[in-house]
Amino acid sequence: MTPIVSSTFDIVHWFLQRGELSHVYVSPLKLQRLLYLAQATYAGQHDGAPLMPSILVVSEVGPLEPNIYRAIEHEPPKVSVRDLPEGIMDFVESIWQKYGSRQIDDLNRHVMRDRAFKEAGITHGLQAIIGLDAMHRHHKPSPKAVAPEKIPEKLPDEIPDFIADIITAARDEARHAKDAEHATADGGDKPAAAWIPGLAAGE
């Protein structure tokens, strides 16, 4: 499958600038975590399609894009970059919102438990490529709960009592999940500066 982004450095550049905007230091290792989670999440949501032309491998410290790691190990790379394609901005922003502010120790634990990473390591060992198919299988979005409004309040009289109880419980659980989602929702995305490609106000 064809990657949506033509160069991984475009994603690298975006995450580094997003970190500067948020006053969050994106170390080389933290960047690796963000790259892996972006690639794996995108593959999970898009039938195994790659976000970027990267090969991520198993290492003792978690999944790594080894070429990028060496390129930025000591300082940000001096390479030409392009704006991210239209339609990708919301996706990479969602990755940042979910993982960008998390401490590196927390991110390390998270990726070391990642099932696609663990599967590749167990099957093939260190330096094994973590395949897009594994990312797709292990990062597919969970089925969403049925919205409460989809479950009728009044149930037909012919439904047996035990089935009616199950349906009522499902309706209550769905309402509870929806209420919890609203209660824990973030207070809204912070505006991004115009100097981040594609994040200028009004774009």
Cα 68 to its chain centre, rounded Å, is: 19
- Does 151 score more than 70 pLDDT? no
Q: What is the DSSP string of 22-81?
A: HT----HHHHHHHHHHHHHHHHHHTTT--SSS---EEETTEEE-HHHHHHHSSS------
Q: How confident is the model at residue 170 (pLDDT cuts 50, 70, 90)?
A: low
Q: How many Å apart are CA 63 and CA 35, to the nearest integer?
A: 9
Contact at 8 Å (CB) between 33 and 99?
Answer: yes
Position 6 scores a pLDDT of 93
pLDDT above 70 coverage of the chain, percent: 70
Query: What value does the mean pLDDT of the chain take?
Result: 83
Position 40 scores a pLDDT of 98
Q: How confident is the model at residue 14 (pLDDT cuts 50, 70, 90)?
A: very high
Q: How confident is the model at residue 187 (pLDDT cuts 50, 70, 90)?
A: very low
Q: Region 114-136: what's the mean pLDDT?
A: 97
Position 162 scores a pLDDT of 54
Position 77 scores a pLDDT of 74
Amino acid type, 125: G
Domain segments of the chain as ranges: 8-138, 142-203
Q: How many alpha carbons lie under 13 Å from residue 5 in its C-beta half-sphere?
A: 26
| Per-residue pLDDT reduced to its tens digit, 47-59 | 999 999 999 999 9
Q: How many Å apart are CA 187 and CA 10, to the nearest integer?
A: 28
Position 178 scores a pLDDT of 57
